[in-house]
Chain A
Amino acid sequence: MTTETLEAPADAEAATVEVHDVHKWYGTHRVLDGVDLTVRPGEVTVILGPSGSGKSTLLRVINHLEKPEIGHVSINGELIGVKRQGERLKELSERAILTQRGRIGFVFQNFNLFPHLTVLDNVAAAPVATGRLGKTKAQELARELLGRVGLGDKTGAYPRQLSGGQQQRVAIARALALRPGVIVFDEPTSALDPELVGEVLAVIKDLATSGTTLLIVTHEIGFAREIADRVVFIDGGKIIEQGPPSEVLDKPRHERTRDFLSKVL
């Protein structure tokens, strides 16, 4: 399906992601309860956990779509959404946060493509809007990226004219157009018909082998086993255990992990 191997864009250094003691409440409900996680450059991390365990919230904290109440996230050592002021953390301006988000690719469960823009404009929007590239250059880049996800012939289509699998591949190309150091996937195949899951996983797999840092929330255990350098199991807003797939998936040490795996496998 993809014509060439996806390669990390030349100017994107694979990033280190550090999550430090993050707590998050929705009202009185505690969603994240002191999560610590360090992802090395180029590492592929799959996050597993039952629904409501806080996995999606963790991803959303990473690009500051959600503000943690306690704790912080840094990418390549740079704090996200906040800055250090003496011994305290101070919220960054909205503009500065938007600039930081531009370095983190985010792929949503429901694609969230812009329905009124063509596929090409969806991918070219961010580089143009942030002033990183001129319109022609951005469209050139968009064409190239769409070619990489196997959709070089769909540039003029509108998202709703595409299948779910194609839409998600456009969304991945849109995230790649940011030249991100890390790409975050929030259940990228959960909204897809079973026969369309494979084409999206293939694109992610190509990315995984290309050396970009990836954080993936998914329920595809087989896929996790295949591509993950590390599997993290979350329940009740806490990391229960983590390690290579051969340990966490095949010889889980915790009761809750075993319980979860027995339900999804």
Chain B
Amino acid sequence: MSEPPGATVTLPEAPTSDEPSKTLTAQHVLPLRRPGRWIATAVVLVLVAQFVHGLVSNPFYQWDRWGYWFLRPTILDGLLTTLQVAAYSAVLGLLGGIVLALARLSKSPVLRAVSWTYVWALRSIPLIVVLIFLYNFSALYKTLSVGIPFGPAFFSFDESKLATDMVVAVIGLSLNEAAYAAEVVRGGILSVDQGQHEAAASLGLPKGYQFRKIVFPQALRSIIPNYVNQLIGLIKGTSLVFYVSLLDLFGSAQTMGSTYPGDIVPLLLVVTVWYLILTSVVSVVQFYVERYYARGATRSLPPTPLQKLRAGLTDLRARIRREAAV
């Protein structure tokens, strides 16, 4: 060969073919055809179209009634209750979870044991049982007092006045949520590298500062996805408060459904759509919160959906131009 070695690659002459050998440089590689993928896509599209068609055209769903109910004040009142119960329980549950996680990680065997037992018990008892138990709590203990066991009480209060349905619901959900949050938070704290604790200690940073500014922000990176998972479970879990006579989103729809039995299906769809919206909002917030806490953990921040869309369009345009050029 006359060319310098490695400059071009030449096809070996095929003995049976009389076509001249072509150089392989500067040639686009033809992408492999994937007919299986196209067939699977077509099948899935047909199934999706069928499902959507059924959803729209089946009179069973009564979409006109859905439109009637979707923004009714009773439903919106219920939604507000759902949001309130979920928000209070999420905050109290997380705070409780942080305390339980710190207790579980402490050096005191008593704190560790109490924390473990709490998590064990509350994760074992069904939420509905906790709620109904709390609902009947005032019948078991008429007054609650703070004092020394078997000794004098410092102050006491009448429970029936304090324990509104809302309070019962929030306490029940928070107790349950704290048990799960404790494990989520503990996992997050354990995921922070031991070297971070050592570096913080070696700099003489005060203990509280070490936790708030060094360990916890890093733990949040693994806490957030798990806690949001938990939070979505909590939002749906609020539907159980109906059984302690609190009219949340589900409860309102259920009540309306017994008054207008013909509308049960559209009412359930109203509830479904609202829960979908709530979950979506939480997911969007999750994305941006996660992105915020990713600072420093990755070399560059993950792109927002808008940035992804822009990059995708630029890509597509470039591809079309290439195809056109070939």
The interface residues of chain B lying within 8 Å CB-to-CB of A99 are 204
Judge whether B202 and A106 touch: CB under 8 Å: yes
The interface residues of chain A lying within 8 Å CB-to-CB of B199 are 106, 108, 112-114
Judge whether A130 and B298 touch: CB under 8 Å: no
B317 within 8 A of A: no
B217's partner among A100, A116, A159 (CB-CB below 8 A) is: A116
Judge whether A129 and B198 touch: CB under 8 Å: no
Residues facing B in A101-133 (CB within 8 A) are 101-104, 106, 108, 110, 112-118, 125-126, 129-130
Judge whether B204 and A98 touch: CB under 8 Å: yes
A224 within 8 A of B: no
The interface residues of chain B lying within 8 Å CB-to-CB of A159 are 296
B166 within 8 A of A: no
Residues facing A in B185-244 (CB within 8 A) are 193, 195-196, 198-207, 209, 213-214, 217-218
Cα separation A15 to B187 with both chains bound (whole Å): 41
Judge whether B203 and A102 touch: CB under 8 Å: yes
* A124 CB to nearest B CB, Å: 11
> Knowing A108-B198, A115-B218, A116-B217 touch, does A102 contact B297 (C-beta < 8 A)?
no
A161 within 8 A of B: yes
Judge whether B299 and A129 touch: CB under 8 Å: no
Cα separation A57 to B207 with both chains bound (whole Å): 23
Judge whether B296 and A65 touch: CB under 8 Å: no
A169 within 8 A of B: no
> Knowing A115-B218, A115-B297, A160-B299 touch, does A95 contact B196 (C-beta < 8 A)?
no
Cα separation A56 to B136 with both chains bound (whole Å): 61
User: Which among B196, B202, B298 has the greatest number of chain A C-beta atoms within 10 A?
Assistant: B202
B293 within 8 A of A: yes
* B273 CB to nearest A CB, Å: 38
Q: Interface code A219-230, partner B: CB below 8 Å = 1, 0 otherwise?
A: 000000000000
Besides A98-B207, A106-B199, A115-B296, 5 new A-B residue pairs in contact (Cβ under 8 A), listed by A number: A112-B199, A125-B213, A126-B204, A126-B205, A174-B203
Considering the complex of A and B, which 8 residue pairs feature the smallest CB-CB distances, nearest first? A102-B204, A112-B199, A158-B296, A106-B202, A112-B195, A101-B204, A126-B203, A116-B296
Interface residues of A (CB under 8 A from B): 63, 65, 94-95, 98-104, 106, 108, 110, 112-118, 125-126, 129-130, 158-161, 174, 178
5 A-B contacts (beta carbon < 8 Å): A98-B204, A104-B202, A112-B193, A115-B296, A125-B213
